[in-house]
């Protein structure tokens, strides 16, 4: 099966082809005792709670709970659901503390509900400006809160870190963690070590320099900051021995486009070694020739870095993709586990970053133990004894386009994996596909556009790269991977990319939502499908499980958006208007409301649309600039308007007021006047009208 899909992380969507198969606050709000170090350290033994993002500091997302198991799962039903007030991507993993569930939604909103009933306790809206949407590579998503003391903490899309009173949802403090004049965003969940709230940020497609910071949970005072890439030496960008070491691996004026290396999602903590592990993102720009003259490893891009959590001091790093050129972040989920290798228990760190290799690393030293590709990898032919990749020269697209696997979406993206100590398997939401990368010979820094150094080219790709990338036939799937043997145990294929995070349990179960609108339960050792439920919306988030009053619950969010949710293939799915939180239990009898009748969408009357542009040129600009939100080929799979059905395309003044004058910037649709000239704006409208006419023509057949 061949289809096209859109990625909000991907400006060149057109060139991407996949080959594949009510506030009811109690009068006296109360919470239990404070969340402290001991409580998080003991999280693995506490089945009634889920106190930190990945359930435990090891981030295994495994719960020993087994009331829901191979025999009983058939009785799993909906316990409760909460409809939200946002229709964008929902990516939060909830925390469950003292019977209350805390989670976030799109637009960085936070909620507290009764974990038994879903009854709302409070909600909080940080009121992120709609136009901040334009700085979000991959939708206005948020992946959850952290808890410490009597507070919960969240990062906001506009770069704030906010502490809320756990009992009331009232703001206790708020700090700006980023330079608001730069295009930073926060989508990741904070982590907390001994009262230090650790938070990263995103924006490597938009020209920023990555870092993580630690803030005092009580006061909001910043305690330390660790930059992941060196800055301009002339402006104090190389401050210490660590930055000196990193700067030696860069060339030219790398700081001009920020360098990248944002820490936008994964972290883990090992209490025994007192090490905080952070996953570092891709280069800014992606194009290594532009970024660093094609020279040097460019530390700490695409690396896992171990830091001292009290000081932010560097301890070790492991770089997955030296000379990163393909948006191959190492921000993917980091899991800590003790596994038996060659008869010896090893304390390891595991990651399946975007670059397609699965890594097992000694988490004390950073030493490479083993690695192998978990999807087809065509930019590299293998790893050496130290885990350094052997490169395929042509894949660097220096003079001609290259077809490269995996895609900028990655063999695996942010969707959390899970490790089950029962099966010793890691469950990876995987995507086997390839993408075309073309150099941009006319690259100039654009403060308002994307800055990735990738062009749109009709030049054929290098044939050697095309052949190697052509082996990517697996498409989207859930992959059960044996980290001991570095081999596949089983897989389940899906029709669409963008499938959800994973939970594994003591019931020998694996739980994963899918982009086509189901929550699915599989047998953990074999992959046999045991149960599924129509959630009425795409499920991307990581599920959580907890036990209260002797009943085991599984909770997950539904809501389409974010990176990698596919267009193409089947048309947009019928779905609930808003995202929601759903909780399931054995014998649950709640029903979802019926889906409202299929939305009747009509192409507007185009008889007076009078397009005056060049549709072929408009297509290039649309797919380069607009597709990342509105969908490749003008087919929107999300709640973001499908322009073929928008009346604005038939009215040039209205179209221009939006695209040029920014009339809808509050809704996230900012002015594109700095990116597109007026005649180019008309070209885009002409292309969209052409696509709308195609709908009319096919309907007439
Ligand atoms: Ca990226």
pLDDT per residue as tens digits for the range 234-276: 999 999 999 999 999 999 999 999 999 999 999 999 999 999 9
Q: Is 602 exposed, middle or buried (0-12, 13-18, 19+ CB in 10 A)?
A: exposed
What pLDDT score was predicted for residue 1? 29
Among 620, 590, 602, residue whose Cα is nearest residue 683? 620
Distance (angstroms) between ligand 1 centre and the Cα of 184 equals 12
Kindly provide the residue ranges of all beta strands, DSSP E only, lying in 149-243, ordered along the sequence.
Answer: 151-155, 160-165, 171-176, 191-193, 196-199, 211-216, 222-227
Distance CA 87, CA 579 (A): 5
What pLDDT score was predicted for residue 620? 87
- The three-state secondary structure class of 159 is coil
Among 304, 288, 454, 432, residue whose Cα is nearest residue 368? 304
Inform me whether the pLDDT recorded for 346 exceeds 50. yes
pLDDT bucket at 597, cuts 50 / 70 / 90: low
User: In sequence order, what DSSP letters do the residues of 17-86 get, joined into one string?
Assistant: -EEB------SS----SPB-HHHHHTGGG-TT-B-STTSSTT---EE---SS-TTTGGGEEEEEEEE-S-
Positive/negative CA dihedral, 163, 168, 169, 172: negative
- The three-state secondary structure class of 404 is strand
Residue matched to tokens 């972290």: 267
Residue 428 structure tokens = 């990876």
Q: Are strands 580-586 and 76-83 parallel, antiparallel or unpaired?
A: antiparallel
Among 185, 225, 80, 17, residue whose Cα is nearest residue 548? 80
pLDDT bucket at 449, cuts 50 / 70 / 90: confident
Inform me whether the pLDDT recorded for 27 exceeds 60. no
Distance (angstroms) between ligand 1 centre and the Cα of 9 equals 6
Residue 439 neighbours by CB distance under 10 Å: 21
Give me the percent of the chain exceeding a pLDDT of 70: 93
Inform me whether the pLDDT recorded for 3 exceeds 70. no
Q: What CA dihedral angle connects 342, 344, 345 and 351, to 10 degrees? A: -30
User: Taking each helix axis from N to C terminus, what angle separates 652-659 and 678-700, rounded to the nearest 10 degrees?
Assistant: 120
Distance CA 184, CA 176 (A): 11
Positive/negative CA dihedral, 244, 249, 255, 258: negative
Distance (angstroms) between ligand 1 centre and the Cα of 285 equals 10
Q: What mean pLDDT is predicted for residues 88-95?
A: 97
Q: Are strands 314-319 and 303-307 parallel, antiparallel or unpaired?
A: antiparallel
State the DSSP H helix or E strand holding residue 533, giving kind and residue range, or none if neither. strand 529-534
What pLDDT, in 10s, does the model give residues 660-678? 999 998 888 889 988 899 9
Give me the percent of the chain exceeding a pLDDT of 90: 82
What pLDDT, in 10s, does the model give residues 288-333? 999 999 999 999 999 999 999 999 999 999 999 999 999 999 999 9
Inform me whether the pLDDT recorded for 9 exceeds 50. no
What pLDDT, in 10s, does the model give residues 353-395? 999 999 999 999 999 999 999 999 999 999 999 999 999 999 9
Q: What mean pLDDT is predicted for residues 680-700?
A: 89
Among 690, 698, 11, residue whose Cα is nearest residue 407? 11
Residue 494 structure tokens = 């899906």
Query: Residue 681 gets which letter from DSSP?
Result: H
For the chain, the first-to-last Cα distance in angstroms comes to 24
Inform me whether the pLDDT recorded for 26 exceeds 80. no
Residue 504 structure tokens = 């594994």
Query: Residue 444 gets which letter from DSSP?
Result: -
Kindly provide the residue ranges of all beta strands, DSSP E only, lying in 320-413, ordered along the sequence.
Answer: 334-341, 344-351, 357-362, 368-373, 380-383, 389-391, 402-404
What pLDDT, in 10s, does the model give residues 131-152? 999 999 899 999 999 999 999 9
Do 215 and 303 form a contact (C-beta atoms < 8 A)?
A: no
What pLDDT score was predicted for residue 159? 98
Distance (angstroms) between ligand 1 centre and the Cα of 410 equals 10
Produce one character per residue of 256-292: b if its CB has 16 or more CB atoms within 10 Å, e if not: ebbbbbbbbbbbbbbeebebbbbbbbbbbbbbbbbbb
What pLDDT score was predicted for residue 481? 98
Residue 533 neighbours by CB distance under 10 Å: 20
Distance CA 326, CA 343 (A): 37
Residues sharing a CB contact under 8 Å with residue 567, sequence separation 6 or more, in sequence order: 4, 5, 6, 631, 632, 633, 635, 636, 637
pLDDT mean across residues, the chain: 92
Known active-site residue 327: yes
What pLDDT score was predicted for residue 572? 59
Q: What mean pLDDT is predicted for residues 452-463?
A: 90
Inform me whether the pLDDT recorded for 25 exceeds 70. no
Distance (angstroms) between ligand 1 centre and the Cα of 456 equals 18
What pLDDT, in 10s, does the model give residues 176-213? 999 999 999 999 999 999 999 999 999 999 999 999 99
What pLDDT, in 10s, does the model give residues 523-573? 999 999 999 999 999 999 999 999 999 999 999 999 998 886 553 334 456
Distance (angstroms) between ligand 1 centre and the Cα of 282 equals 5
Residues sharing a CB contact under 8 Å with residue 613, sequence separation 6 or more, in sequence order: 679, 680, 682, 683, 684, 685, 686, 687
Catalytic residue, from 327, 372, 516, 621: name it. Answer: 327
Residue 78 neighbours by CB distance under 10 Å: 17
Distance (angstroms) between ligand 1 centre and the Cα of 333 equals 15
What pLDDT score was predicted for residue 503? 98
Q: What mean pLDDT is predicted for residues 112-129?
A: 98
Distance (angstroms) between ligand 1 centre and the Cα of 218 equals 32
Long-range contacts of the stretch 173-177 (C-beta < 8 A, 24+): 173/219, 173/220, 174/126, 174/220, 175/215, 175/220, 175/222, 177/201, 177/213, 177/215, 177/222
Distance CA 410, CA 412 (A): 5
Q: Are strands 109-114 and 100-105 parallel, antiparallel or unpaired?
A: antiparallel
What pLDDT score was predicted for residue 701? 47
Inform me whether the pLDDT recorded for 686 exceeds 60. yes
Among 631, 603, 675, residue whose Cα is nearest residue 7? 631
Among 127, 255, 264, 110, residue whose Cα is nearest residue 184? 264
Query: Residue 630 gets which letter from DSSP?
Result: H
Distance CA 363, CA 308 (A): 13
Distance CA 100, CA 45 (A): 18
Q: Are strands 76-83 and 62-63 parallel, antiparallel or unpaired?
A: unpaired
Distance (angstroms) between ligand 1 centre and the Cα of 536 equals 29
What pLDDT, in 10s, does the model give residues 625-654? 888 788 888 888 777 888 999 999 999 999
Upper half-sphere CA count for residue 381 (Cβ side, 13 Å): 7
Distance CA 515, CA 535 (A): 10
Helix and strand numbers (H, E) in the chain are: 8, 41
What pLDDT score was predicted for residue 30? 64
Distance (angstroms) between ligand 1 centre and the Cα of 564 equals 12
Residue 694 structure tokens = 């195609």
């Amino acid at each position: 099966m061949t289809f096209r899909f859109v990625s909000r992380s991907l400006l060149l969507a057109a060139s991407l082809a996949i080959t594949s198969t009510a506030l009811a606050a109690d009068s006296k709000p109360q919470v239990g005792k404070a969340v402290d170090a001991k409580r998080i350290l003991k999280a693995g033994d506490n089945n009634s709670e889920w106190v930190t993002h990945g359930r435990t500091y090891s981030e295994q997302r495994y719960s020993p709970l087994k009331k829901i198991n191979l025999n009983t799962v058939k009785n799993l039903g909906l316990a409760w659901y909460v409809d939200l007030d946002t229709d964008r991507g929902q990516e939060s993993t909830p925390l469950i503390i003292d019977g209350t569930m805390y989670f976030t939604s799109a637009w960085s909103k936070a909620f507290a509900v009764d974990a038994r009933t879903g009854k709302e306790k409070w909600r909080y809206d940080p009121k992120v400006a709609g136009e901040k949407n334009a700085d979000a590579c991959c939708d206005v998503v948020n992946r959850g809160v952290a808890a410490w003391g009597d507070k919960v903490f969240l990062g906001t899309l506009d770069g704030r870190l906010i502490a809320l009173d756990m009992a009331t949802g009232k703001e206790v403090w708020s700090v700006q963690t980023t330079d608001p004049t730069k295009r930073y965003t926060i989508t990741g969940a904070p982590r907390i070590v001994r009262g230090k709230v650790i938070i990263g940020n995103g924006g490597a497609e938009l020209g920023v320099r990555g870092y993580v910071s630690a803030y005092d949970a009580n006061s909001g005072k910043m305690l330390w900051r660790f930059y992941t890439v060196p800055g301009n030496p002339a402006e104090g960008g190389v401050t210490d021995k660590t930055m000196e070491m990193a700067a030696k691996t860069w060339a030219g004026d790398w700081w001009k486009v920020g360098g990248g290396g944002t820490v936008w999602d994964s972290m883990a903590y090992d209490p025994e070694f007192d090490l905080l592990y952070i996953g570092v993102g891709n280069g800014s720009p992606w194009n290594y020739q532009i970024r660093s003259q094609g020279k040097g490893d460019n530390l700490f891009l695409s690396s896992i870095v171990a830091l001292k959590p009290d000081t932010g001091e560097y301890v070790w790093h492991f770089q997955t993709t030296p000379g990163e050129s393909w948006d191959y972040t190492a921000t993917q989920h980091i899991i800590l586990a003790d596994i038996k290798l060659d008869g010896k228990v090893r304390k390891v760190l595991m990651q399946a970053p975007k670059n397609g290799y699965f890594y097992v690393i000694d988490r004390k030293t950073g030493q490479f133990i083993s690695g192998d590709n978990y999807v087809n990898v065509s930019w590299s032919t293998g790893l050496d004894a130290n885990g350094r990749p052997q490169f395929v020269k042509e894949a660097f697209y220096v003079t001609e386009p290259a077809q490269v696997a995996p895609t900028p979406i990655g063999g695996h993206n942010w969707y959390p994996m899970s490790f089950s100590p029962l099966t010793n398997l890691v469950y990876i939401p995987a995507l086997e596909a390839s993408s075309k990368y073309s150099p941009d010979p006319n690259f100039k820094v654009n403060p308002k556009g994307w800055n990735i150094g990738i062009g749109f080219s009709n030049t054929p790709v290098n044939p050697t790269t095309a052949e190697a990338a052509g082996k990517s036939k697996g498409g989207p799937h859930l992959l059960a991977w044996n980290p001991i043997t570095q081999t596949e145990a089983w897989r389940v294929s899906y029709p669409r990319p963008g499938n959800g995070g994973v939970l594994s349990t003591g019931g020998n179960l694996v739980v994963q939502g899918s982009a086509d609108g189901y929550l699915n339960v599989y047998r953990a050792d074999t992959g046999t499908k045991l149960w599924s439920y129509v959630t009425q919306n795409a499920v991307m988030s990581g599920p959580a499980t907890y036990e209260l009053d002797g009943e085991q619950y599984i909770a997950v969010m539904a809501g389409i958006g974010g990176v990698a949710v596919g267009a193409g293939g089947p048309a947009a799915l019928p779905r609930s208007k808003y995202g929601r939180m759903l909780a399931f239990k054995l014998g649950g009898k709640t029903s979802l409301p019926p889906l409202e009748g299929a939305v009747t969408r009509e192409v507007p009357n185009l008889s007076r649309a009078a397009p005056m542009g060049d549709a072929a040129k408009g297509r290039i600009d649309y797919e380069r600039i607009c597709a990342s939100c509105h969908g490749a080929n003008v087919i929107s799979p999300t709640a973001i308007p499908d322009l073929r059905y928008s009346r604005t395309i038939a009215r040039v003044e209205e179209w221009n007021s939006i695209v040029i004058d920014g009339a809808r910037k509050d809704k996230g649709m900012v002015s594109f006047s700095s990116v597109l000239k007026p005649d180019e704006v008309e070209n885009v409208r002409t292309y969209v009208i052409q696509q709308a006419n195609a709908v009319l023509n096919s309907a007439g057949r």
